[in-house]
Each structure stands twice: as structure tokens, then as C-alpha cells.
Amino acid sequence: MKIIIGSMNKTKIEAVKEVFPTDQVLSYSAESSVSAQPFSDEETRTGAINRAKDCIAMNPDAVGIGLEGGVMDVDGQLFLCNWGAMIDLKQHVHTASGARILLPKEISEPLRDGIELGDVMDSYAKKQGVRHNEGAIGIFTNSLVSRKDMFLHVVTLLRGQWEYWHDSNLKSSE
């Protein structure tokens, strides 16, 4: 099976390759068609779906996967939120979300001022390319859960749902 992941970010590409080790995995810089920094569950999930759609727009013989990072407000506090979408060969859209953790005020204030999380994290952690490595989730979990680990779980949830609904003749989601 040919799978196209709609990002050049290595944490996302590696997560898809690990969950689909025997499939051909290609990467493509897909459009999310939402803000660079999504601010709700709905917007983040839409970004993931749009990326998956963009991946297969010119490649109907491929499965598209979109992974999108965002933040969401819960009771006035910002949490990390991540969504994944997989559009299979039958055009069925599967979605799943990732773990959420609280972002401290030092992060949420610049985010509310319009700065992207990736940039805020680099200056907070005094590192370059946090988004391509451990991610905010890695920094704020003391390196126990990396951004790739979080996407591995999301892509596993996508694969599992796809197998359940479409890999079995015994079940139907319709």
C-alpha cells in the first residue's frame, strides 16, 4: 500500500513509518488550510483532514495521512492538542486525537499574542527545532513522552480503526 504523509516534519514521518513498517511511505508538504497555529480541537482536526485530502488529491491510488498540532482552551488554560486523519482507498475518513497536556503561562501568553508554538518553544527551551525533535510535549513531560511518541499513538489509533472497519469482512461502519 502507498501511504502519503502530509508533512516534512520528521517526527510525523517517522511515526507513520513505524506504524506501517511494510508499506511504502512518501512525504509531501500538504496544505492544512487552517491557521499555522490552530487554536481549537475543531480547527486542529480540520487541519489534519485537509492535509490528508491534499495528499491524495493527485494520488487516488494512495492512502493519505495528515497530522496536525494545535492548542485548545480548557477553562481559560491552554493545552497542547494534536489530531490525525487517515483517508483510505475507499475515501473513508478516520480521525484520532493525541494526548493533551497543560502549557504554562510563559508559553500560553506569547501564543495568544500570535506567535507559533514551535517558535515559542525554541526560545523557552533555548534550543533550535524543538518541533522537529522532542516537541513541547517532550519538554513538559521531562522527556518521558516525545512528539514522535505522541504521534505514534495517534497513527496507531488511525491504523487500528482502519483495520477494524475496512480490513475485516465481518464488520461495517455504514
* b/e 18-32 (16+ beta carbons within 10 angstroms → b): ebbeeeebebbebeb
For position 54 contacting ligand ITT by CB under 6 A, the verdict is: no
**Does residue 66 interact with ligand ITT by CB under 6 A?**
no
* Residue placing its CB nearer to ligand ITT in the complex, 55 or 63: 55
- 130 forms part of the interface with ligand ITT (CB under 6 A): yes
Helix (H), strand (E), coil (C) string for 115-162: CCHHHHHHHHHCCCCHHHCCHHHHHHCCCCCCHHHHHHHHHHHHHHHH
The residues with which 129 forms a beta bridge, in sequence order, are none
Q: Which residue has the cell 506501517?
A: 20
Of 36 and 163, nearer to ligand ITT (C-beta) is 36
- When binding is defined by CB under 6 A, the residue of 92, 118, 156, 165 that contacts ligand ITT is 118
* Site membership for ligand ITT, residue 137 (CB under 6 A): yes
Closer Cβ to ligand ITT, 110 or 118, answer by number: 118
Nearer to ligand ITT among residue 63 and residue 121 (C-beta): 121
Residue 111: helix, strand or coil by DSSP? helix
Q: Tell me how far apart the alpha carbons of residues 94 and 3 are, in angstroms, rounded to a whole number.
A: 14
In the complex, which residues of this chain contact ligand ITT (CB under 6 A)?
7-9, 12, 36-37, 68-70, 116-118, 121, 130-131, 135-137, 147
